[in-house]
Amino acid sequence: MMPQRPGDHMKTDRRDAMTLARLLRAGELTAIWGPDEAHEAVCDLIRARHSAQEDATGAKQTVRSFMLRHDRRFGGNAAWTKRWMHGVFIALDNPARAQSFIAEIAATMTTIAERLSSFPARNELATGLRSARHGRYLIFFVASDVGVQIVRVLHGARDLPQAFATH
């Protein structure tokens, strides 16, 4: 911000140029630094990490909503702990399968994030919707500039148009 004298409130390019020249001669301007390519790459990495964290939060909210719709409630103090992630919440009847299923879903989600455009568009169900198959399940997601949002995870035998009509 450039200092102004009292009564000198009119802003013009000519006055700004004169003020800058005067400040430069007096040695009162401080140098600034613009980021180079390496620093821009670090900033890009930080932005991508933030986007991935937001995607993970959205996926967690989707899973939590899915479980609540199926009346599965976690009795512990905090969700997304190691105990919760290892299948105690998802399948009390078969913890080993629950663990492996969560690992498989996580791997599928990583694949989705890496190869968005390779998954088929499902515009007949919703605009911009894509799907990825995971065993008998279909993971429906929407890609944007910010990241990937998981919309629904449905069994492949479901009537998909009906499921999305009520969504």
Tell me which amino acid residue 124 is: E
pLDDT of residue 37: 93
For Cα atoms 86, 91, 93, give the angle at the middle one, nearest 5 degrees: 120
Phi-psi region of 161 (alpha: psi -120 to 50; beta: other; left: phi over 0): alpha
Classify domain 41-165 at the CATH topology level.
Answer: YaeB-like fold (3.30.2310)
Confidence grade of residue 150 (pLDDT, cut at 50, 70, 90): confident
Q: Tell me, yes or no, if the pTM score tops 0.95.
A: no
